[in-house]
Amino acid sequence: MHVMVIGAAGMVGRKLVEKIAAQPGALGYDVEALTLVDVIAPPVPAQLASIASALALDLSEPGAAGKLVARRPDVVFHLAAIVSGEAEADFDLGYRVNLDGTRWLFEAIRQEGMTAPYKPRVIFASSIAVFGEPFPEKIGDEFFTTPLTSYGTQKAISELLLADYTRKGFFDGVGIRLPTICIRPGRPNKAASGFFSNILREPLAGQEAVLPVDESVRHWFASPRSAVGFFLHAARMDTARIGPRRNLTMPGLSALVGEEIAALGRIAGQKAVALIRREPDPVIRRIVAGWATDFDARRAGELGFKAESTFDEIIRIHIEDELKGNI
Amino acid sequence: MHVMVIGAAGMVGRKLVEKIAAQPGALGYDVEALTLVDVIAPPVPAQLASIASALALDLSEPGAAGKLVARRPDVVFHLAAIVSGEAEADFDLGYRVNLDGTRWLFEAIRQEGMTAPYKPRVIFASSIAVFGEPFPEKIGDEFFTTPLTSYGTQKAISELLLADYTRKGFFDGVGIRLPTICIRPGRPNKAASGFFSNILREPLAGQEAVLPVDESVRHWFASPRSAVGFFLHAARMDTARIGPRRNLTMPGLSALVGEEIAALGRIAGQKAVALIRREPDPVIRRIVAGWATDFDARRAGELGFKAESTFDEIIRIHIEDELKGNI
């Protein structure tokens, strides 16, 4: 099988590729070729050097999607996107990359199928940003998508396209609505959601972190390992079980910031907790107040997607995967 | 005020223009200019000759939207679309007209606003085809849009764009999800939904009509007069009351085919009912089985949108508006 990862230099993309490198059977079939794509050439793990090629290519450039699809991958992971804050600040860029880029990919697949039979599986990274407040206490699988950001709008539109192209038989699509990924590895960033990870990752490494909201803030989480697991499961599952409603809210953990901190205390002690500095930020507080806090992701659960059920697990996964077991 | 009607040669577009002609205050403000647009030059009612101009223009042609928007209308009714069956049969045409045409219109308005302040009201004709089965008994205002046709997909995407462009302040948009319009005037056509109108309109005119489904089929209806009323109300209402969820399922009447026929009998007698010939058609029966049957359109009701509550009313409106009161 030929597997293509678009957005392979991003956090989840890199981890997905690393997983395929570390566990060749992770997809449930042999990977004979791997094409890694991003706007900068993505890293190729040494174990994959013989089968992988890395391409620097912007999906939103005319002709780019056609070039990729001409390689006729059997499985396409589409994770490339302009992030939420940037898509909100630059309206044209967000629509060009997140909507047009995705549509051109889907359309290139359809066009390729007109030359000779072709029906890849397409796994698309969507987001809970497709939802907009006010929310019910738990957002069910049939709740409507009324995004309050351009990013969420672009993801919701891509979901609709994915379902229609799948319904018409042009490809076999699955949309994966990711929870907020926690603990994000790397350095603190300025994303409004960054603190959810910062307040765990930094203290685990002996560093200070800033908490800009109250401990009573609730949010919806899954680990990077779960995110990779969602994509792998979507690539190997029997999609006939999904039916025509192809976009799935992934399972996750609904937790309070206070529960994050309590789990940190249990695992790394009060010294770690003491590294969290409270600096209320009214702007971040207001942004976060508009985010979804809890879901009833029943369909994805029934279809075999799995996530963590405690923050202790989420922290332990970070320690295993990022800190080689050491804190 | 300058009012533009795109899709002014269609059934609802024509009736909307006729209403503005017959009742100059219908929009709640003076209409000083009226631009009527369709792929063929739309008819101009004699009373409007001094203020109206008719344009033959295809919104899906490059540059067309910019030409329209350069006239800086204060109110834009966007009713132009490729119908459901055609959009399903010709994938490219449906996406070009129903998605790209709409997006280009929205984008042209945004671009126009960059040259000098401009924020028209945009009223967009959407459809209950944005929903796909299986349905709850009544579809509520927060039910998700999982269309099972390309037409429904294009309408759902346009709704998302309308909400985002409105949220960003580029225009003041309202999406109007129309019920099935009944009684459609004119000749019987081959649309799968045609029989809902045919079995009333033809017998009222002394003609035979074919009923291809059982009397137990339930569906969701509003008269052409109500459809025009929805658009007029959307044009004059205080949109601040809507909030960011700009797409509204219109009120309607949920009724059985058997109830249509009973109303026909009450109004036009059993001679009219006897003109309905039962010719079960398994293809039409199967298509119709996938359509929504009932809604709880609470939000639109609270916002002042109104439709009929009996089929007797729907038939009487047809007799008044199309048959000059004579049967």
Could you tell me where the DSSP H helices lie in chain A? 11-22, 64-69, 84-89, 91-94, 102-115, 150-167, 194-204, 224-236, 257-273, 282-289, 298-302, 311-322
Structure-token pair, residue B178: 């129309």
- Sort out which chain A residues have CB atoms less than 8 A from B147's CB and list them: 160, 163-164
Q: Say if residue B60 is exposed, middle or buried (CB neighbours under 10 Å; 0-12, 13-18, 19+).
A: buried
Is residue A75 helix, strand or coil?
strand
Instruction: Let me know how long chain B is.
Output: 327
Pairing, β B52-56 against β B209-211: unpaired
Closest CA to A176 of A120, A124, A229: A124
For the B194-220+253-294+308-322 domain, the top CATH level (class) is alpha beta
- Sort out which chain A residues have CB atoms less than 8 A from B156's CB and list them: 160
Whether chain A has a CB inside 8 Å of the CB on B248: the answer is no
Do the chains contact at A150 and B132, CB–CB below 8 Å?
Answer: no
Please check whether residue B78 is in contact with residue B122, taking contact to mean a CB–CB distance below 8 angstroms.
yes
Please check whether residue A54 is in contact with residue A41, taking contact to mean a CB–CB distance below 8 angstroms.
yes
Model confidence, pTM? 0.97
CA distance B10 to A145: 30
CA distance A263 to A272: 11
CA distance B114 to A29: 53
Do the chains contact at A132 and B157, CB–CB below 8 Å?
Answer: no
CA distance A42 to A40: 6
| Residue stretches of chain A with pLDDT short of 70 | none
Is residue A59 helix, strand or coil?
coil
Q: Where are the domains of chain B?
A: 2-179+223-249, 194-220+253-294+308-322
CATH 3.40.50.720: does it fit domain B2-179+223-249?
yes
Of B91, B146, B163, Cβ closest to residue A163: B146
Closest CA to B73 of B40, B31, B114, B102: B31
Q: Which residue has the tokens 């298509």?
A: B287
The pLDDT of residue B327 is: 84
Please check whether residue B323 is in contact with residue B266, taking contact to mean a CB–CB distance below 8 angstroms.
no
- Sort out which chain B residues have CB atoms less than 8 A from A245's CB and list them: 132, 146
**Chains A, B: CB pairs < 8 Å:** 57
Residues B107-147: pLDDT tens digits? 999 999 999 999 999 999 999 999 999 999 999 999 999 99
Please check whether residue B59 is in contact with residue B98, taking contact to mean a CB–CB distance below 8 angstroms.
no
Of A142, A143, A168, Cβ closest to residue B91: A168
What's the sign of the alpha-carbon dihedral B221, B303, A143, B161? positive
Neighbours of A113 (CB within 10 A): 17
Of A150, A160, A168, Cβ closest to residue B156: A160
Do the chains contact at B146 and A91, CB–CB below 8 Å?
Answer: no
Closest CA to A59 of A127, A158, A134: A158
Do the chains contact at A144 and B142, CB–CB below 8 Å?
Answer: yes
CA distance B262 to B215: 10
- Kindly tell me if the per-residue pLDDT of B188 is higher than 90: no
Q: Say if residue B114 is exposed, middle or buried (CB neighbours under 10 Å; 0-12, 13-18, 19+).
A: exposed
What residue type is A62 in one-letter code?
P
* Band of residue B151 on the pLDDT scale cut at 50, 70, 90: very high
How many percent of chain A have pLDDT more than 90? 95
Residues A125-182: pLDDT tens digits? 999 999 999 999 999 999 999 999 999 999 999 999 999 999 999 999 999 999 999 9
What residue type is A34 in one-letter code?
L
Quote the CATH superfamily of domain A2-178+223-249.
NAD(P)-binding Rossmann-like Domain (3.40.50.720)
- Kindly tell me if the per-residue pLDDT of B190 is higher than 80: no
Averaged pLDDT, B76-100 = 96
Averaged pLDDT, B197-212 = 97
Of B91, B144, B160, Cβ closest to residue A142: B144
User: What kind and span of H or E run contains B176?
Assistant: strand B172-178
φ/ψ of B101, rounded to 5, equals: -60, -45
Do the chains contact at B144 and A145, CB–CB below 8 Å?
Answer: yes
Pairing, β A276-278 against β A247-249: unpaired
Do the chains contact at B167 and A148, CB–CB below 8 Å?
Answer: yes
CA distance B137 to A156: 25
Q: What is the 3-state secondary structure (H, E, C) of A96-145?
A: HHHHHHHHHHHHHHHHHHHHCCCCCEEEEEEEHHHCCCCCCCCECCCECC
- Kindly tell me if the per-residue pLDDT of B174 is higher than 80: yes
The pLDDT of residue A180 is: 96
Structure-token pair, residue B180: 């099935």
Whether chain A has a CB inside 8 Å of the CB on B163: the answer is yes
